[in-house]
């Protein structure tokens, strides 16, 4: 029973109406990373950062999973071996599409993190400067998003999954952000077959044994059908 590890990025949610980061008119063309995606930016202007993530939380909770999210859930249901999804996405669209066993290495929009005591809790509503941590009662709530300069979540467990992979697929990511961009090398070292599925070649394209280009809603269901052996 082969083990499949899948890395996803913003491209898989693009056709659900959620903007990517680095495409034309992407989030990083509209906002400065230093302002909204660093601990220093939050310290400088927490109101701006909260309003950025509050807006993204609203947008993401209104979004629906697309055929690519659902195909991965189907793969999990029908593949006889383990199928692990590691996502850089902070939306909850994999789970909404029926997936389980999802590792959110960059955090989640529905999460809050206490900047004072590191307590994490579910926060589906708007957050504001002064929102209290339910554990230490400090007014130090921040979005539970991994910002630039911070360590992604669950790296030890994710590397352990990659070390046991027989098949590694990278879907909808530009492969410009590490450590995720280098997962293909970990999987390769473990002897896995590697495949990139993306709209266009990513920065790491030459590292993959196989590549498929096109919109995720087209190429991911097609690939899943091949993996589970359906015509």
Residue 13, interface with ligand OAD (CB under 6 A)?
no
Which residue among the candidates 50, 69, 79, 106 is catalytic per the annotation? Answer: 106
Measured from the CB atom, is 3 or 145 closer to ligand OAD? Answer: 145
Reading the block at residue 103, the tokens are 């590792």
Reading the block at residue 40, the tokens are 């220093």
Among 106, 113, 114, 133, the residue binding ligand OAD under the rule CB under 6 A is: 106
81 is in an annotated binding site: no
> Residue with CB nearest ligand OAD?
11
Residue 115, interface with ligand OAD (CB under 6 A)?
no
Q: Is the peptide bond before 179 cis (omega within 30 degrees of 0)?
A: yes
Number of shown-chain residues binding ligand OAD (CB under 6 A): 25
Helix, strand, coil abundance in the chain, percent, nearest 5: 40, 20, 45
Active site residue 50: no
Among 127, 146, 167, 224, the residue binding ligand OAD under the rule CB under 6 A is: 146
Measured from the CB atom, is 3 or 88 closer to ligand OAD? Answer: 88
Measured from the CB atom, is 135 or 176 closer to ligand OAD? Answer: 176
Measured from the CB atom, is 130 or 179 closer to ligand OAD? Answer: 179
What is the layout of strands, in order, in the sheet containing 120-122?
A: 120-122, 107-114, 141-145
150 is in an annotated binding site: no
Secondary element (H or E) of residue 95: helix 93-96
15-47 burial string, b = 16+ CB within 10 Å, else e?
bbebbbbebeeebeeeeeeeebbbeebbeeebe
Among 4, 5, 6, 10, the residue binding ligand OAD under the rule CB under 6 A is: 10
Residue 15, interface with ligand OAD (CB under 6 A)?
yes
Residues 6+ apart with CB under 8 A from 66: 12, 13, 15, 16, 93, 97, 216, 217
- The answer to whether 130 and 112 have CB atoms below 8 angstroms apart is no
Contacts to ligand OAD by CB under 6 A: 9-11, 14-15, 20-23, 26, 37, 88, 106, 146, 172-174, 176-177, 198-200, 202, 215-216
Residues involved in catalysis: 106
């Amino acid at each position: 029973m082969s083990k499949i590890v899948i890395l996803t990025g913003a491209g898989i949610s693009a056709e659900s109406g959620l903007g990517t980061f680095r495409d034309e008119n992407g989030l990083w063309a509209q906002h400065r990373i230093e302002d909204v995606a660093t601990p220093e930016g939050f310290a400088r202007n927490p109101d701006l950062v909260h309003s950025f993530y509050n807006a993204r939380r609203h947008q993401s909770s209104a979004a629906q999973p697309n055929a690519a999210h659902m195909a991965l859930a189907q793969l999990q249901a029908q593949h006889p071996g383990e199928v692990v999804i590691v996502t850089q996405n902070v939306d909850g669209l994999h789970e909404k599409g029926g997936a389980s066993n999802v590792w959110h290495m960059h955090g989640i929009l529905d999460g809050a993190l206490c900047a004072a005591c590191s307590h994490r809790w579910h926060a589906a509503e708007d957050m504001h400067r002064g929102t209290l941590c339910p554990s230490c009662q400090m007014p130090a709530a921040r979005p539970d998003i991994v910002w630039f300069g911070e360590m992604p979540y669950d790296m030890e467990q994710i590397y352990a999954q990659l070390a046991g992979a027989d098949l590694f697929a990278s879907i909808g990511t530009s492969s410009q952000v590490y450590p995720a961009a280098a997962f293909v090398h970990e999987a390769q070292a473990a002897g896995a077959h590697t495949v990139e599925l993306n709209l266009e070649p990513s920065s790491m394209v030459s590292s993959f044994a196989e590549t498929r280009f096109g919109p995720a809603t087209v190429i991911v269901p097609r690939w899943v059908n091949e993996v589970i052996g359906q015509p």
